[in-house]
Structure 1
Amino acid sequence: MSATTPEPASRPEILAPAGDTPSFLAALAAGADALYVGLKHFSARMEAENFGTGELARLTDLAHEAGSRVYVAMNTLVKPGECGAAWRLIARLAARVRPDGLIIQDPGLLDLARQAGFAGGLFLSTLANVTHPLALREAKKLGADRVILPRELSIDEIRAMGAACPEGLDLECFVQGALCYCVSGRCYWSSYMGGKSGLRGRCVQPCRRIYQQGARMAQSGRDGRRQGRRGAAPPDRHAEGRGGHGRSGRFFSCRDLELGPLVKTLLDVPHLASWKIEGRKKGPHYVYHTVTAYRLLRDDPGDPAARRAAADILAMALGRPGGKARFLPQSPEETAAPDSQTSSGLLAGKIRIAPDGGCELKPHFELLPGDYLRVGVEDERWHATVPVTRRVPKAGTLRLRLARHATPRAGTPVFLIDRREPELLRLLADWRGRLDARNAPSAQDTVPTGAPRFPRAIRPHPRPDMLLTATRPRGRAREDGAASAPGRGGRAPGRRSLPALWLSPRTAELSRTMVARIAWWLPPVVWPEEEDALARMLGRLWRQGARHFVCNAPWQRALFPDRLPEDADLLAGPFCNTANAAALGVLAGQGFAGAFASPELARDDALALPAQSPLPLGAVLSGFWPVGLSRFSLAGIRPNEPFAGPKGEVFWARRYGGTLWIYPAWPLDLSEQRRELADAGYSFFVRMEETPPASLPELRRQGLFNWNGALL
């Protein structure tokens, strides 16, 4: 191996999920090298049971005794008033729990964690959206010790990330578990539909629901307008195949990622230190089986018997149907399965309606006391989880106690989602005994007092300074009433206009006389295969005098010179999801001259942020803000045509480069709030304009995002 080629990781750890104590103990019983857990706050899996610090301290000591590491996920967006609470929680973790690492999404926590005295590793979550090789350099510069790679990467792209990874930075990749249709950190779908944000760990999984496109959707849209102009009526999920009247299905519901024996190809990737199993909402059965399988595949990669055993174990892990997604670049798989169920669990049978109207199940296999069953899928009104209280032999009869108001139809599938086999129960009882024998940790270090430090806030500008207008080659994204931040040389803010363009091979070919007078918007996601072309375009524009750029991820700062000239005017764009003073301090330290606040913020949070900011702030004022961005293909949905959700919501999708943008039919419009935002201190605004499909139904819904609601 040449001196310039990085060494491969010695042996990647098997990193197990643990959403509760039984799953934590199952991971230890299976021999996991590391576990990741969430707390009651600041976790991107808020629907998991999660842990308190006292309980987690005992569990962490037990894990360390067993030779396993513990990582705590604090991977949520931090709102303006939450920095102090996050700092205090990290300080308690550092003093009382002493985990080996923190998994974070918000770059502000890189600074807060060190201020709080945390000495372990700082790992950037896949929600942080570190997606291309140069971004790794910026992540390392800002203090990250590990980057968790996107689930959309191929093996070739993972290798490229490993080869580009700077010394002192580790990589982690997913090998098993749920896939989101939208890119992590670039999904606002759940938040747009009611404030339950995936960036805050509260996603209600709208991508798992049934959607419809075609003639029936258009008819239901007309019906909806006649009923009060509220949009389309709920789709007919049985419309497919009825003489071309449209099609319905779970077009965005993905199968699980399951690399299985293909993980052998990851063993020699430089800096790849961790194989991650997703599933903090899964039970101990899933955790034990997946950890066992991937230990076999890592430790005996050349043994056919080990591969067969691992495949058998994964088949019984009770996850969703699995696939390889984009891992194999020559043969990427369709991740969504519109015509089949993609909920977790093993099909146990189907509902039978007894003569007295009750529900019965004749299972395809033996059911054990303690097993858990799921009736139907999550978006059906009769969806329920049911514990099994007695042994039921194969083809025996199990009477299901279900709510009368939600009785399922005959033929509704029932899935086994968690299993309590006697051997696993014995193992868990043994580990529970070892845990119960432990006292609370004796070393109760003093938790630091005080508060986190932030860069000094600037005095907010009382009025917008600048008008920007951003366009695409097709469809416009106009930045209106937007004020550029004062330049690095401290130039006085002047009331002026500046056009802006989304950067693409087409827009980058403008004449030299124009490029310096344009603000260039970088894409919200840059994939490894796109980085070289993007860097060449930026280099050419920079040489031609362009100095106004909007980066839509903090890590895109690495695409520009380390030392910025006085006339450089870099803004952190709205897709950076900036929402607190600590994150703004990090951006200021990177050399950004201003930043857009996260469009997800509700009114009170949005109005509070300028007074805390060390940078001039901008806001998305109006236009088509996407509900999500995806790298996966559209399976059954035609682009540039409307489709409807289960409650009549209408959407449309369009591809730009390697990324699919999914939009709601109702644009965001905070125009009436512009004066209020300006009075609070916002000094530039953006209008995100697109040319919507001509067939888009006329909708009279006001798009305020979370303004009058809450970002939960």
Structure 2
Amino acid sequence: MMSDESSDVPLILAPAGDRDSFLAALAAGADAVYCGLKAFSARMEADNFSLTELAGLTALAHARNVRVNVAMNNMIRTDEVEKAFHLVQRLVRDVKPDALIVQDLAFIPLVRQAGYAGELHLSTLANLSFPDGLRVAEMLGFSQVVVPRELDVDALRLMAASCPKGLRLESFVHGALCYAVSGRCYWSSYLGGKSGLRGRCVQPCRRLYRSEKGEKGGYFSMQDLSLDVLTKVLADIPEVACWKIEGRKKGPHYVSYTTTAYRMLRDERDVPGRKKDALALLDMALGRPAMHYRFLPHRPWQPISPEGETASGLLAGRVKGGAREMFLAPRIPLMAGDLLRVGYEGEGGHIMVPVRRSVPKGGKLHLRGNGTVRPRSGAPVFLVDRREPELMASIRKLGEELAVMPECAPAAVEKPLVFPVPLKKKDPSRDLMLRRRPGKAGEKGYESGLWIDPNRAPGIPDGAVRHVWWWLDPVIWPESSDSWKKAIAGLIRRGARRFVLNAPWQMGLFDKPDGLALWAGPFCNVANPMAVDVLAGLGFSGVIVSPELGEEDFLALGAKSPLALGAVLSGFWPLAISRVGTLGPGESLTSPKAEKLWGRSYGDNQWLFPDWPSDIREKKPLLEKAGYRLFVHMEETLPKGMEARKRPGLWNWNLRLL
């Protein structure tokens, strides 16, 4: 592993989804590269790496004093825990990475038992979004936290001011933006069983939706982030030790151009002409149209333009011709090895076209279908990857050096994993009705749950405060964390004793948690007993597990959990929680499959809902038998005039969670 010596300048961390992109990062002068394996990565659609391949690449990087961070940043099921453990053991022995990037708390005991001595970095998917949570992360052994992309520079300074000694921040400077806050998107999973928390997102936010007026647009499709010249401001925050470039699904061209540009902006920004050169490289990196997003609080950018262009790649022209012949007369010269996309990635029927020979500007490139889809006249054509001779020569040279690196010999790892002791005592089960406003006092059969509004008094008598389950928001921002601490302290003074925290880091908002019953809420995304055990060590009394789970996953966790468990049985679960307000009160949008989406703003965030609820109430007896004891029903009223769709709300219950 590389030395852990501190530096006065932030590291430039480049993405790599395949061998050529990894080598492109090295050639471009990256200080560190992050990548994933073929399992347990939150970018499973990238090619990713085998252990043998990554071992050689890591040795090559270390020979150049470049760090390698391995992302094992997806949520893991109970039946995957041992496989993940053995993979970590082989990583420790064969690859020797400098850091592991994780979101699932299960990896904390897994890496300890595997004898891993490198750094642990907390993924942005874990959603540590406010200053008081940093000390919880440091206490758990994390040395670096990847902060949300939604933070402006003032919020970032608040985070930096609260960094415990030995903890650093990692901030995105470039790349794709998600409509949802990281770790708070269930859209792909809810609509199709492919979880973004497990690297399987099919990007439903990039599709075209129809407004109530019948207008189609990319209402959730975000432009890219590019801090470019504003990295000068970022460089003045010493706790930000790493500038991160998003893009593990991108090719070597993108990696080379963005890495080179940010190295120039960091090291040569005062050299005449270099800033202009760096911006030119970013313009040609083949991403989406880019902007500064929220980084400057006094001048935020609107990241969505429903009628605008948010497709990735550089527009090369439009399809011409008719039934006999379809072709492209490119508006830019094309090179042999270029990769084109005909159509938008958010729409069905787009085609990938490799360019076999050079085509001059205004020349003619014949287009053919892929056997099932034919190019349509007028469709946009985008240049999405380019393999310049100079870049490929650099990659070939590094590839020759890689070829002589010693290979690791595959071997079994025998050390067994020690699981936590399952909970034996089972309390009586109870149902909890969760509301935004107080409901009927003593509603038969239900205990009362209320979302905390830090800006509004709860409006219930002191005597009732003790009996309520008080729920914290899934996303708390730096500028509102003081309000949250005051609201929590006020409730405790009035007798509140039961709280549901929707991120483990929210434990940092409680000065004295002793004597309180603190449960980890469903937005903590817990899916295995090792993660439950870490929460037990933090002082949690129970866990409401991830509602994304399938039947086998629910039951397996119930048998092995060291804490009491709960489950969300019914209610409108959000597809996404966003800091971008897309829908006004009562407005809705319709998906390509006729599903209606509606939004509601709570605090600083907008919650996006489907028009049918999750509902596994019929599975309650099975869950009780498996050991679940707290059952949550989430009340959320549909907008006026909208009717609930008649559709099963079993979510992934009958599916294998992907």
Same fold (TM over 0.5): yes
After TM superposition, give the deviation of residue 658 of structure 1 in Å.
0.3
Q: Map Cα deviations across residues 78-109 of structure 1 (whole Å, 9 max, x no partner).
A: 10111101110000000000010001010111
**Aligned-pair distance for 1:53?**
0.2
- Contact 1:579-1:597 within 8 A present in 2 as well: yes
Corresponding residue number in structure 1 for 2:555:
607
Alignment partner, residue 359 of structure 2: 392
Equivalent residue in structure 2 for 1:501, among 450, 461, 472? 450
Measured after TM superposition, the shift of residue 380 of structure 1 is: 3.0
| Residue 544, structure 1, aligned to residue 473, structure 2 | no
Determine whether 1:51 maps to 2:49.
Answer: yes
Does 1:403 pair with 2:370? yes
The within-5 A match list for 1:522-671 is 522-562=472-512, 564-565=513-514, 567-634=515-582, 637-671=583-617
Query: 3-state SS of the aligned residue for 2:174?
Result: strand
Alpha-carbon separation, structure 1, partners of 2:595 and 2:185: 17
Cα distance in 2, alignment partners of residues 581 and 526 from structure 1: 26
Matched, 1:432 2:399: yes
Q: 2:249 matched to which residue of 1?
A: 281
- The C-alpha deviation readout for 1:349-403, integer Å capped at 9, x for no partner, is 11012461x3201111111111100110123333011111111111111112213
Q: Contact 1:194 / 1:709 at 8 angstroms: preserved in 2?
A: no
Render the CA deviation track for 1:474-516: whole Å, top value 9, x for unaligned. 9x799999xxxxxxxxxxxxxx853221001324454322222
Whether 2:473 is the aligned partner of 1:473: answer no
- Residues 619 and 609 of structure 1: CA distance in aligned 2, closer, same or farther (over 3 Å): same
The AA in structure 1 aligned to 2:534 is V
Aligned equivalents of 1:574 and 1:595: distance in 2?
Answer: 8
Contact 1:454 1:585 in 2 (8 A): no
Check 1:460–1:577 CA distance in 2 against 1; reply closer, same or farther (3 A cut).
farther
TM-score, normalising length: structure 2: 0.96
Whole-angstrom CA distance in 2 between matches of 1:452 and 1:532: 41
- Tell me the CA shift for residue 560 of structure 1: 1.4
Secondary structure, aligned partner of 2:21: helix
Supply the AA of the counterpart residue of 1:465.
S
Q: Distance in 1 between matches of 2:66 and 2:585?
A: 47
Check conservation: 2:368, 2:375, Cα contact below 8 A.
no
CA contact (8 A) 1:129 1:185 kept: yes
Other structure's SS at 2:608 match:
strand
The yes-or-no answer on 1:383 pairing with 2:350 is yes
Q: Is the 8 A contact 1:256 1:322 kept in 2?
A: yes
1:337 corresponding residue in structure 2: 305
Is the CA contact (8 Å cut-off) linking 1:17 and 1:23 kept in structure 2?
A: yes
Aligned partner (choices 332, 335, 338) of residue 368 of structure 1: 335
1:621–1:674 contact (8 Å) kept in structure 2: yes
* Percent identity of equivalent pairs: 50
The farther-off stretch of 347-356 and 205-214 is 347-356
Of 413, 416, 424, which residue of structure 1 is paired with 2:380? 413
Cα distance in 2 for partners of 1:123, 1:480 equals: 45
Gaps of 5+ in 1: 1-7, 215-244, 482-495
Note if contact 1:470-1:479 (Cα within 8 Å) is conserved in structure 2.
Answer: no
Q: CA deviation at 1:468?
A: 2.5
**Aligned residue number for residue 155 of structure 1:** 153
1:24 aligns with 2:22: yes
Partner residue in 2 for 1:199: 197
Task: Kindly state the Cα deviation for residue 519 of structure 1 after the two structures are TM-superposed.
Answer: 1.1
Give me the CA root mean square deviation: 1.9
Partner residue, 1:134: 132
Q: Does 1:359 align with 2:359?
A: no
Assess, with a 3 A threshold, how the Cα gap between structure 1 residues 366 and 534 changes in structure 2: closer, same or farther: same
The one-letter code of the counterpart of 2:417 is: P
Judged with a 3 Å threshold, the aligned counterparts in structure 2 of structure 1 residues 114 and 446 are, in CA distance, closer, same or farther, namely farther
Change over 3 Å in CA distance of 1:302–1:480 after alignment to 2: farther
Residue 419 of structure 2 is aligned with which of 443, 450, 454? Answer: 454
Amino acid at match of 2:225: L
Aligned pair partner of 2:104 in 106, 121, 137: 106
Letter in 1 for 2:365: L
User: Which residue of 2 is the match for residue 260 of structure 1?
Assistant: 228
Q: Aligned equivalents of 2:140 and 2:441: distance in 1? A: 32
Over residues 237-256 of structure 1, what are the superposed CA-to-partner deviations in whole Å (9 max), with x where a residue is unaligned? xxxxxxxx332211000000
Cα offset, 1:302, TM superposition:
3.1
- CA change 1:469–1:354 in 2 (3 A) is closer
Counterparts of 1:156-235 in structure 2 under 5 Å?
Answer: 156-214=154-212
- Give the SS at the match of 1:386: strand
Query: 1:471 and 1:521, CA in 2 relative to 1: closer, same or farther beyond 3 A?
Result: same
Question: Is the Cα contact below 8 Å between 1:145 and 1:170 reproduced in 2?
Answer: yes
Look up the SS of the partner of 1:193 in the other structure.
helix
Partner of 2:622: 676
Contact kept? 1:470, 1:478, Cα under 8 Å: no
1:657 Cα deviation from its structure 2 partner:
0.3
The residue identity in structure 1 corresponding to 2:406 is: N
CA contact (8 A) 1:20 1:51 kept: yes
Paired AA for residue 448 in structure 2: P
Say which SS state the counterpart of residue 184 (structure 1) adopts: coil
Q: 1:122 to 1:479 in 2, by over 3 A?
A: farther
2:238 counterpart SS class: coil
CA–CA distance in 1 between the matches of 2:375 and 2:635? 44
Q: 1:507 to 1:687 in 2, by over 3 A?
A: farther
Distance 2:280 2:62 in 1: 30
How far apart, CA to CA, are the structure 1 residues paired with 2:407 and 2:619?
Answer: 52
TM-score, with length taken from structure 1: 0.89
CA distance in 2 between partners of 1:54 and 1:342 (Å): 37
Q: Distance in 2 between matches of 1:21 and 1:165?
A: 35
Aligned residue pair count: 652
Gaps of 5+ in 2: 1-5
Q: Counterpart of 2:192 in 1: which secondary structure?
A: coil
Is 1:691 matched with 2:637? yes
The CA distance in 2 between the partners of 1:412 and 1:709, in whole Å, is 36
SS in 1 for 2:630: strand
> 1:333 and 1:509, CA in 2 relative to 1: closer, same or farther beyond 3 A?
same
Note the alpha carbon deviations across 1:259-313, whole angstroms, 9 max, x for none. 1000100112132110000000100000000000000111123345221111011
- How much does 1:428 deviate? 1.2
Q: In the TM superposition, what is the alpha-carbon distance from 1:599 to its structure 2 partner? A: 0.1
| Rounded Cα–Cα distance in structure 1 between residues aligned with 2:349 and 2:637 | 40
1: distance between equivalents of 2:638 and 2:419?
A: 42
SS at match of 1:191: helix
Specify the SS of the correspondent of 2:78. Answer: coil
Contact 1:629 1:662 in 2 (8 A): yes
